């Protein structure tokens, strides 16, 4: 098959949707190399062009006019550019499909990650909510198949967009295999020196925004007695960083919290693996891939009740109502102080994450493609 992708996020988003795009394509190319893959993007970094080897994937760009108006080309021009490639499938990896038709020979798929702008409207400006609703619903209605990255997102699509359930397929996001590979002791030492990591720490990775609930985690840390209070290591950036640093100072925790900023992907497995516990106190997510990454790294997980969290966490994680600061502090102390509980959580986690392995999710996605183009 000839399978094309909207690759804007693949090339230009270093986190979230970009990671999903890169992981999806890497899994498909690894397990299904016989197919031809096409990446459509108005702007492709020179570093990627220079490192490209062979002819799979094929890199597809517009002419000079399209490069001058990349958003317009992405919405209207990709189908015309793609006609010469005889695509069987075109997959919009991040909520959107081009507005113009690919013709009758190409089946379209769109991945919907979440509808949080509708389920939690207070977290989004009015204009953003209006734009997202218009664009995303239109893409879902025009697609031959809608991929939801969790059953919770699938339920929201049916309820809020009135999408028929028989047009929706749940395909979980996968974790990349390097999270499950123990890092070498020498690499641990280098990583600890690079980031000035304490011997024991709580770990969080993600954006520093209100929805992620990091402020709850800082407040919970303050409730743990200083005699056995662990350090907190935060990997990620966002508009709340300065406020969170001020909160830490006000609570007398500045020396206990490390703000690492954005860290390279290759350092994340070690940061997970050296942590005593991973805490993800988010209010809501479409899936929550850091939970899966932590479990694959053999790190116990504490996260929130509700939303989608029981899907990535399964029976391995411990769940708390979001914003319950006292319960969060108590649970962190419990996990840190109970080796038997930690062992049980790690063992369950290794079993649970098998459903998110690259091979499993790639196979499921290819099943969707072959269902559309038998």
The pLDDT tens digits of the residues spanning 97-112 come to: 999 999 889 999 999 9
**pTM > 0.85:** yes
Domain coverage including residue 135: 2-174+357-372
- Interatomic CA distance for residues 233 and 213, integer angstroms: 15
Cross-sheet strand order for the sheet of 257-261: 257-261, 231-235, 201-205, 277-280, 301-304, 318-320
Residues 237-294 have pLDDT tens digits of: 999 999 999 999 999 999 999 999 999 999 999 999 999 999 999 999 999 999 999 9
Cross-sheet strand order for the sheet of 58-60: 58-60, 36-40, 2-6, 89-92, 107-112, 145-148, 168-170
Reported as a pLDDT band with limits 50, 70 and 90, residue 24 is very high
160 and 189 housed in the same domain: no
368 and 350 housed in the same domain: no
* Residues sharing a CB contact under 8 Å with residue 373, sequence separation 6 or more, in sequence order: 1, 88, 89, 107
91 and 54 housed in the same domain: yes
> In the chain, how many domains are there?
2
69 and 128 housed in the same domain: yes
- Interatomic CA distance for residues 63 and 78, integer angstroms: 11
103 and 123 housed in the same domain: yes
Q: Supply the mean pLDDT for the chain.
A: 95
CATH label of the domain that carries residue 316: 3.40.50.2000
For residues 151-182, b (16+ Cβ closer than 10 Å) or e, as one string?
ebbbbbbbeebebeeeebbbbbbbbbeebbee
Q: What is the mean pLDDT of residues 140-163?
A: 97
* Residues sharing a CB contact under 8 Å with residue 336, sequence separation 6 or more, in sequence order: 200, 228, 230, 276, 277
169 and 272 housed in the same domain: no
Residue with tokens 């770990």: 203
215 and 336 housed in the same domain: yes
Please tell me the predicted confidence (pLDDT) of residue 53.
63
Decide if 322 contacts 305 (C-beta within 8 A): yes
14 and 157 housed in the same domain: yes
Q: What is the mean pLDDT of residues 86-91?
A: 96
89 and 134 housed in the same domain: yes
DSSP per-residue codes, 110-149:
EEE---HHHHSGGGS-HHHHHHHHHHHHHHHHH-SEEEES
6 and 141 housed in the same domain: yes
13 and 149 housed in the same domain: yes
Q: Which long-range contacts (C-beta less than 8 Å, at least 24 apart) are formed by 47-56? A: 48/11, 56/29
Decide if 335 contacts 302 (C-beta within 8 A): yes
208 and 250 housed in the same domain: yes
- Interatomic CA distance for residues 362 and 367, integer angstroms: 9
Please tell me the predicted confidence (pLDDT) of residue 52.
65
Residues 337, 340, 345: CA angle, nearest 5 degrees:
95
């Amino acid at each position: 098959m000839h399978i094309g992708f909207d690759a804007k996020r693949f090339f230009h988003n270093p986190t979230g949707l970009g990671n999903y795009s890169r992981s999806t394509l890497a899994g498909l190319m690894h397990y299904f190399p016989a197919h031809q893959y096409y990446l459509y993007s108005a702007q492709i970094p020179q570093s990627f062009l220079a490192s490209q080897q062979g002819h799979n994937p094929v890199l597809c760009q517009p002419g000079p006019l399209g490069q001058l108006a990349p958003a317009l080309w992405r919405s209207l021009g990709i189908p015309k550019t793609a006609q010469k490639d005889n695509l069987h499938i075109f997959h919009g990896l991040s909520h959107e499909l081009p507005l113009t038709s690919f013709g009758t020979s190409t089946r379209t798929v769109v991945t919907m990650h979440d509808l949080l702008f509708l389920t939690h409207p207070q977290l989004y400006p009015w204009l953003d909510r209006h734009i997202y609703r218009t664009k995303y619903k239109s893409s879902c209605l025009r697609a031959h198949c809608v991929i939801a990255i969790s059953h919770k997102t699938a339920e929201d699509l049916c309820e809020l967009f009135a999408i028929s359930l028989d047009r929706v397929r749940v395909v979980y996001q996968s974790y990349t295999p390097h999270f499950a590979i123990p890092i070498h002791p020498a690499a641990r030492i280098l990583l600890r020196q690079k980031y000035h990591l304490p011997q024991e720490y709580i770990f969080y990775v993600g954006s520093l925004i209100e929805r992620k609930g990091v402020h709850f985690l800082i407040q919970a840390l303050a409730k743990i007695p200083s005699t056995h209070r662990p350090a907190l290591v935060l990997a990620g950036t966002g508009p709340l960083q300065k406020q969170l640093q001020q909160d830490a100072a006000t609570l007398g925790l500045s020396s206990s919290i490390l703000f690492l900023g954005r860290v390279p992907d290759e350092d994340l497995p070690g940061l997970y693996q050296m942590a005593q516990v991973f805490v993800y106190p988010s209010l809501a997510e479409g899936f929550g891939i850091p939970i899966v990454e932590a479990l694959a790294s053999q790190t116990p997980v504490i996260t929130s009740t509700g939303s989608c969290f029981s899907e990535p966490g399964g029976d391995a994680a411990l769940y708390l109502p979001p914003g319950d600061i006292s319960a969060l502090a108590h649970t962190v102390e419990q996990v840190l102080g109970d080796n038997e509980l930690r062992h049980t959580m790690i063992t369950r986690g290794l079993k649970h994450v098998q459903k998110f392995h690259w091979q499993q999710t790639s196979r499921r996605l290819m099943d969707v493609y072959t269902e559309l183009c038998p």
